């Protein structure tokens, strides 16, 4: 699943979208409410994606950053570079 804003994109690996525990951790960690622990797992509040402050708390909650992380924060303003 991916949601694109103007400056930031948030990508959650389809293999973990239904993970209720990960959804709860992401929702608890994000200070700008990008992640929602909804019915069936992780949901992304698309209207909040560009509110991302690049704090990395979601990456920490997901187990780390990088290309193998189940959650990726993509800096669209930086040619699609991943926040790491």
Domain coordinates in residue numbering, the chain:
2-82
Instruction: Look at residue 48 in the predicted model and tell me its pLDDT.
Output: 97
Cβ contacts of 51-55, under 8 Å, gap ≥ 24 = 52/5, 52/8, 52/10, 54/83, 55/31
Residue 83 has what DSSP assignment? P
Cα gap 66→55, rounded to integer Å: 15
Beta pairing partners, 12: 71
What was the pLDDT predicted at 40?
85
Q: How many CB atoms lie within 10 A of CB 7?
A: 13
Look up residue 18 and give its two tokens: 């239904």
Q: Per residue in 29-82, pLDDT tens?
A: 999 999 999 888 999 999 999 999 999 999 999 999 999 999 999 999 999 999
CATH 3.90.1640.10 fits 2-82, yes or no: no
Helices (DSSP H) in 1-84: which residue ranges? 20-29, 57-61
């Amino acid at each position: 699943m991916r949601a694109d804003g103007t400056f930031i994109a948030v990508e959650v690996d389809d293999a973990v979208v239904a993970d209720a525990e990960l959804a709860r951790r992401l929702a608890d960690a994000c200070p700008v409410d990008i992640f929602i622990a909804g019915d069936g797992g992780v949901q992304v509040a698309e209207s909040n994606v560009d509110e991302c402050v690049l704090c990395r708390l979601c990456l920490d909650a997901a187990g780390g950053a990088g290309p193998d992380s189940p959650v990726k924060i993509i800096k669209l303003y930086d040619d699609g570079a991943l926040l790491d």
